[in-house]
């Protein structure tokens, strides 16, 4: 499948390693896909599973979580927490119909600019192949279209009938 679909990748980058790595790539004028939207977090361990789903819901076609290498966490073991969550979130994606490859966790140190470029490029290509993600529509929007329903119709019918009967009754009354 060749396509010109440009996926949106939301990346949660930890402040101390991965964000620095991205910065280093920028300073070295390295090229990487512009599909990545970076959100800086203090630690990959800050990435709540709610963030991941919120990103998918708001239009991300893929989500990337980047943190320091295990052992290098600024907060000792935040990235290990991230790894635990990541494994569990992955196991939930199937039920939502989200392909596992749309979520990726990787370790990127402040010096690994090449790896940063490589991970972002790979991720973008993979998600491009998978195509756009379409979450369920916002609940209220759809309902507001004026669907006249059976009951509303029935009710209108009954009310008309009541009116008719009472006018008829009044007429009979007045002719008496």
Partner 1 sequence: MAHKPKIALYWCSSCGGCEESVVDLAEDILAVAEAAEIVFWPVALDAKYDDVARLDDGAITATLINGAIRLDEHVSMARLLRKKSRLLFAHGSCAHLGGVVGLGNFFTNEEILNRVYCDVPTVNNPDRVLPRPETRQGTTVLKLTGLHDMVRSLHQVVDVDYTIPGCPPPPALVKEAVMMVLEDRLPPKGSIVADTRALCYTCPRKETRPEMLEVPSFKRVYEIEWDPEQCFLNQGVVCMGPVTRGGCMAQCIQANMPCRGCFGPVDNVRDQGAKSASLLASLMESTDEEQLKKIVETIPDPGGLFYRYSLASSIMKGRVRRRP
Interacting residue ranges for partner 1, rule: CB under 8 A: 48-50, 52-54, 56-57, 70, 77, 80-81, 83-85, 87-92, 94-98, 131-137, 139-140, 143, 147, 149-152, 154-155, 158-159
Query: What are the percentages of helix, strand and coil residues in the chain, rounded to 5?
Result: 55, 15, 35
Q: Which is nearer to partner 1, 1 or 31 (CB)?
A: 1
Asked whether 133 and 98 are in contact (CB, 8 A), the reply is yes
Asked whether 15 and 67 are in contact (CB, 8 A), the reply is no
Query: What's the closest the beta carbon of residue 160 comes to partner 1, in angstroms?
Result: 12
State the greatest distance between any 2 C-alpha atoms of the chain, in Å, as a whole number: 101
Query: What's the closest the beta carbon of residue 49 comes to partner 1, in angstroms?
Result: 4
Q: Which is nearer to partner 1, 22 or 41 (CB)?
A: 41
Query: What's the closest the beta carbon of residue 94 comes to partner 1, in angstroms?
Result: 7
Q: How many CB atoms lie within 10 A of CB 125?
A: 13
Q: Which is nearer to partner 1, 2 or 50 (CB)?
A: 50
Asked whether 16 and 74 are in contact (CB, 8 A), the reply is yes
């Amino acid at each position: 499948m060749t396509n010109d679909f440009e996926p949106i990748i939301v990346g949660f980058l930890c402040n101390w390693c991965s964000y620095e790595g991205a910065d280093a790539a920028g300073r070295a004028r390295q090229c990487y896909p512009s599909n990545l939207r970076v959100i800086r977090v203090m630690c990959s361990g800050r990435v709540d599973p709610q963030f991941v789903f919120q990103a998918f819901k708001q239009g991300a076609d893929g989500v990337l979580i980047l943190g320091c290498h295990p052992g290098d966490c600024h907060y000792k073991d935040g990235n290990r927490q991230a790894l635990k969550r990541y494994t569990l979130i992955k196991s939930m994606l199937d039920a939502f119909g989200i392909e596992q490859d749309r979520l990726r966790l990787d370790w990127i140190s402040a010096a690994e600019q090449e790896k940063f470029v490589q991970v972002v490029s790979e991720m973008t290509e993979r998600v491009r192949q998978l195509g756009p993600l379409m979450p369920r529509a916002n609940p209220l929007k759809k309902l507001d279209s004026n669907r006249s329903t059976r009951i509303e119709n029935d009710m209108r019918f009954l009310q008309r009938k009541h009116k008719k009967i009472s006018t008829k009754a009044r007429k009979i009354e007045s002719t008496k």
